[in-house]
Chain A
Amino acid sequence: MIRMTGVKKAFGDNRVLQGMDLHIPRGSSMVIIGGSGTGKSVALKCILGLIQPDAGTIMVDGKPAGKGDRDAFLARFGMLFQGGALFDSLPVWQNVAFRLLRGSLARPQDEAREVAIEKLRRVGLKPEVADLLPAELSGGMQKRVGLARAIAAEPEIIFFDEPTTGLDPIMAGVINDLIREIVTEMGATAMTITHDMTSVRAIADNVAMLHDGVIQWTGPVADMDNSGDPYLDQFIHGRAEGPIEAVR
């Protein structure tokens, strides 16, 4: 479904991606792990066209990403941002139904509100939350609203950027379970970036480890603990000693 081949991206002298190759099959849940600053978010933003790669190709369903009708391309994606990225000036339901209130997927306001409330219910939030502003919500609730917004238009592909960062372990578990359930029931292709190994085990079908701008290891989550890859072993066990420098 998504195939990245030799993707490179540098910011000045900082070469973040140095030839990243990755394949995410349709309907699978791929989790990308790696230390801070290794380019996980950059890779995700390259697929969406938020950042232009310097070299390499990114194909979605066999077609180059970012070519052709951009609105139609983006309409296939949903994304949960690390900080939620909810629009402060809009009430929760309008955040969730944002895509349904304008553009090619626009629906009547009442219908869009109903969909928003249904999606909020799906992520465990009561309808009363719909008319609150994002600033009135806790961090966990904001993540859930972000998740509801990501799935509101029933996208084929969903990206999750650090979905559990900043949440307590119980709320992180709730979000992980929600992501797994939603991806399974929607049959969507998912790509998650995280450092949280609990999330990896809860969400992933496949795991890829990004280090030094390339995919160091990739395979099914069941093989992760016996990979024999020293980088992956050091990362998943959180050891200071190993091939990955602790001070970067």
Chain B
Amino acid sequence: MNPMNSTMNALAALGRSVMYALARMGRMAIFGFSAFSHMVRPPYYPREFANALLNIGWLSLPVVGLTAVFTGGALALQIYSGGARFNAEAVVPQIVAIGMVRELGPVLVGLMIAARVTSSIAAEIATMKVTEQIDALVTLSTHPMKYLVAPRVLAALITVPVLVGVGDIIGIAGGYVVAVQNLGFNAAAYLQNTVDFLEINDVTSSLAKGAVFGVIAALMGCYYGMDSGRGAQGVGRATKGSVETAAILILAANFVLTGVFFSI
């Protein structure tokens, strides 16, 4: 094949991929604006909102708690053994606190919500689309964005920061248990050091990240569900795509938000 043609074909394929990605980002942005606009305009569906609060918030507590407690414990062990290399074992309470609250708490909770909630929302809405339930909603004079999307996004916006707060506390508690039981730290001194070291900005940034990650997780689940193709394969692709995109967007948003909150 002519090398010039090969190069042009490769560039054309790259261009198509970029155009496709940009078009998809544009559709996601429009979908997000539409979701927020439906959130603030009646009619409202309080029952759907309550169900979403339960599913996204309350039922995610076990997985968030377990993730946080093991991460906090492992973090304490790592800091203790790593700190021993330069006689800094004593900083375990401070580093566990700052690590959990500023970074690991919100990111891990966000990723667990992407795994648990985004996938579930995408699969549910995609199945509704495949089985014509979305069309049925429309024929019953019910807007799918209002009935399916707005309650889930609002519930995630409210509950994920709470989950992050709970995750931060449980993670610190995990570190505390390991430090006091295994590493010989004084219980009262550990707690005092934790409280003294944390600043209000650490906590607010953690909760703000939770709100952003919650919106990303719910929006991606809804977007991919509503955009799903036909059949079981369409549902599978929607679910996989929603979790991948939510996870990447959460990590990217975490980088940006960390820069915004803590840039020196």
Contact = CB atoms under 8 A, between A and B. Distances in A.
Interface string B59-77: 0000000000000000000
B139 A77 contact: yes
B43 A50 contact: no
A75 B133 contact: no
Contact of A103 (B43, B135, B136): B43
B133 A85 contact: yes
A81 B141 contact: no
A102 B139 contact: no
B145 to A, nearest CB: 13
Nearest to B51: A89
Interface string A96-110: 001100111100000
A74 B43 contact: no
A65 to B, nearest CB: 13
Interface in B193-242: none
Contacts, number: 51
A77 B16 CA distance: 42
Contact of B135 (A50, A89, A104): A50
B132 A102 contact: no
A102 B138 CA distance: 13
Contacts of B45: 102
A153 to B, nearest CB: 9
Q: Which range holds the interface residue count of chain B? A: 10 to 19
B138 A74 contact: yes
B9 interface: no
Nearest to A104: B141
Contact of B132 (A75, A83, A89): A83
A99 B136 CA distance: 11
A105 B43 CA distance: 13
A99 B141 contact: yes
B7 to A, nearest CB: 30
Interface in A77-97: 77-79, 81-83, 85-89
B131 interface: yes
A103 B51 CA distance: 19
A102 B131 contact: no
A48 interface: yes
B4 interface: no
B136 A102 contact: no
A103 B140 CA distance: 9
Interface in B1-54: 43, 45, 51
Interface in B118-136: 127-128, 131-133, 135-136
A50 B138 contact: yes
Contacts of A85: 131-133, 135-136
Nearest to B130: A83
B139 A82 contact: no
Interface in A96-144: 98-99, 102-105
A104 B132 CA distance: 23
Interface in A38-88: 45, 48-50, 70-71, 74-75, 77-79, 81-83, 85-88
16 contacts: A45-B135, A50-B135, A71-B141, A74-B138, A74-B139, A74-B141, A79-B136, A79-B139, A82-B132, A85-B131, A87-B133, A87-B136, A88-B128, A98-B140, A99-B140, A102-B45
Interface of B: 43, 45, 51, 127-128, 131-133, 135-136, 138-142
Closest 3 CB pairs of A and B: A85-B136, A85-B132, A71-B141
Given A50-B135, A104-B141, 16 more contacts: A48-B139, A50-B138, A70-B141, A74-B139, A74-B140, A75-B141, A77-B139, A81-B132, A85-B132, A87-B136, A88-B127, A88-B128, A89-B51, A98-B142, A103-B141, A149-B140
